[in-house]
Chains A and B, each alone.
Chain A
Amino acid sequence: MANIMIQRGSKTEYVFYLPKRDLEDDIVSMEFDSPEKWGGEIKLNNGGTYYIDPQSKPAKLPISLRAKRLDAAE
């Protein structure tokens, strides 16, 4: 589990930021993206995949969350 931050992006809707790795990347797809259910599996532009527990859509971004790494692109 790692602390991450999800922000609004300019190119894509969301940007993923992992401070520990200085990783800042566009989120290309998010499993759930509706007001009630938001989160799940996140795919990054660099090919990495992370998982955040599905929750209701946050009222404002950026937001700090805990994420699980499924597949990091190295």
Chain B
Amino acid sequence: MSALTREETEALIQEVLEVYPEKAKKDRAKHLTVNDQSIEQSKKCITSNRKSLPGVMTIRGCAYAGSKGVVWGPIKDMIHISHGPVGCGQYSRAGRRNYYVGMTGVNSFGTMNFTSDFQEKDIVFGGDKKLAKVMTEIEALFPLNKGVSIQSECPIGLIGDDIEAVAKKTTAETGKPVVPVRCEGFRGVSQSLGHHIANDAIRDWVLPRREGKAFEGTPYDVAVIGDYNIGGDAWSSRILLEEMGLRVVAQWSGDGTISEMEKTPFVKMNLIHCYRSMNYIARHMEEKYSIPWMEYNFFGPTKVAESLRAIAAHFDDKIKEGAERVIAKYQAMMDEIIAKYKPRLQGKKVMLYVGGLRPRHVIGAYEDLGMEVVGTGYEFGHNDDYDRTIKDMGNATLIYDDVTGFEFEEFVKRIKPDLVGSGIKEKFIFQKMGVPFRQMHSWDYSGPYHGYDGFAIFARDMDMTLNNPCWSKMTAPWLKKEEPVAEKEAA
């Protein structure tokens, strides 16, 4: 399994914790653990979804990031107003690479930033009037928008604006959905609560809109939930589902539209990719509309095949045949890719630290390439995420929750993985340390990574990063002769 034994890994955790003051040490110790597959419930070994310690570098976002950035933002035909000061919206604008088709600024608004740009007087006298004015302006300038969502930033909750009232008034005027989302950044400990709040807003303001209306359904209607189309992920997933005979009614929310979301209560099955951000709505739909849901994993051919079969098991023989047909169709292509890249990547060690579903979902894809994940962790995972992770990870591997900048660097220094997969904030630290790095939030400006087509790109990207000749140039030429060993290590 991993290069370190259980005792060594435990000693490493202790060693890293040594630098903290007593109280911080006690707190952080609960968030770091050595994986033990025999444990049924993660609660026994790891604490998660707790407030980050003041003074440490955390990589978490806020509730606004969870709602505007993750859940609502990708819905392309709605306008998402960042209600509050201008910065929150502007600095997160278009950074997530959730692709969509449409004419930006005409009928799609994904990469644009709309904000009510709060000033001092709005804080003092309240911003509801300004919000109403913004809505009128939006209607005049972008008449093809299909709705508006109001994403609250911190001051809205602090000054107590009544955005719900403005929303109701505007809906009555325009007839379009206006959704107030109470996702002020100070709520919760991470973006995770933002996902929940956004899900609740969809539940209350979007799903009931078409109740009782006619819908021409088929027995094969499904909704893809929790795929944000990073670099086109949802598209490479969708074609597989369509090829096996299912009808994808809605995509939540990458390249999704408001009408797709409204139609979701009519589907036969909800397929959840990102469990963390969308399980709430799936559970709600199960209770209210009796729609079963299941998680699937479209990273790497092994998991794709497994998931396609698991999805097909809920449908009739036609879909089951379809699934086998799809798996068989892509098998040759997958074998070719694995034959090409596996020899180049075999035995390499990977450390991950991302959010949502990836800390456990991508493990299968790395294993398909003969690589081994030796450490993983969630930014904002909850216990149920860790429950699911324990079984996917090897024994005696490291698991870290909300890892701090210091801890992560120390772990990498000691475990010496061949590749680190994390976000932009970690990227340059590790590259300067001479460790190959991939951004696993935005696929490092590449993608898609989902599905069979995505795996081809995933394998190429990992090879491109790991076997990049630049890693052998980490030592200056005049130092090379004395230290030929160091060069070998870096390569």
Contacts and interface: CB of A to CB of B under 8 A. Distances in A.
Interface of A: 5, 7, 17, 19, 21-25, 46, 60, 62-64, 74
B382 interface: yes
Contacts of A63: 287
Contacts of A23: 383
Given A22-B382, A23-B383, A7 B286 contact: yes
Contacts of A60: 290
A62 B287 contact: yes
Contact of B287 (A22, A46, A64, A74): A64
B41 to A, nearest CB: 6
Contacts of B280: 19
Given A22-B49, A46-B41, A62 B383 contact: no
17 contacts: A5-B283, A5-B287, A7-B286, A17-B283, A19-B280, A22-B49, A22-B384, A23-B383, A24-B387, A25-B41, A46-B40, A46-B41, A60-B290, A62-B283, A62-B286, A64-B287, A74-B43
B383 to A, nearest CB: 4
Interface of B: 40-41, 43, 49, 280, 283, 286-287, 290, 382-384, 387
A57 B40 CA distance: 30
Contacts of B286: 7, 62
Given A46-B40, A46-B43, 15 more contacts: A17-B283, A19-B280, A21-B383, A22-B49, A22-B382, A22-B383, A24-B384, A24-B387, A46-B41, A60-B290, A62-B283, A62-B286, A62-B287, A64-B287, A74-B43
B281 to A, nearest CB: 12
A30 to B, nearest CB: 19
Nearest to A64: B287
Q: Which of A22, A25, A60, A62 has the most CB of B within 10 A?
A: A22
A19 B279 CA distance: 10
A5 B40 CA distance: 21
Contacts of B43: 46, 74
A70 to B, nearest CB: 18
Contacts of A5: 283, 287
Nearest to A63: B287
Contacts of A62: 283, 286-287
A46 B280 CA distance: 23
Nearest to A25: B41
Nearest to B387: A24
Contacts of A25: 41
A2 to B, nearest CB: 15
B90 to A, nearest CB: 33
Nearest to A74: B43
Nearest to B384: A22
Q: Which 7 A-B pairs have the closest CB atoms?
A: A22-B382, A22-B383, A22-B384, A62-B287, A62-B286, A24-B384, A46-B41
A58 to B, nearest CB: 10
A5 B286 CA distance: 11
Contacts of A74: 43
A62 B382 CA distance: 22
A69 B40 CA distance: 22
A25 B44 CA distance: 14
A24 B384 CA distance: 7
A14 B383 CA distance: 20
A38 B49 CA distance: 34
Contacts of A19: 280, 283
A64 B387 CA distance: 23
Contacts of B382: 22
A11 B387 CA distance: 16
Nearest to B381: A22
Contacts of B40: 46
Nearest to B386: A22
A45 B327 CA distance: 37
A63 B290 CA distance: 10
B49 to A, nearest CB: 7
Nearest to B385: A22
A25 B476 CA distance: 56
A25 B42 CA distance: 12
Contacts of B383: 21-23
Nearest to A24: B384
Nearest to A6: B287
Nearest to B196: A19
Nearest to A62: B287
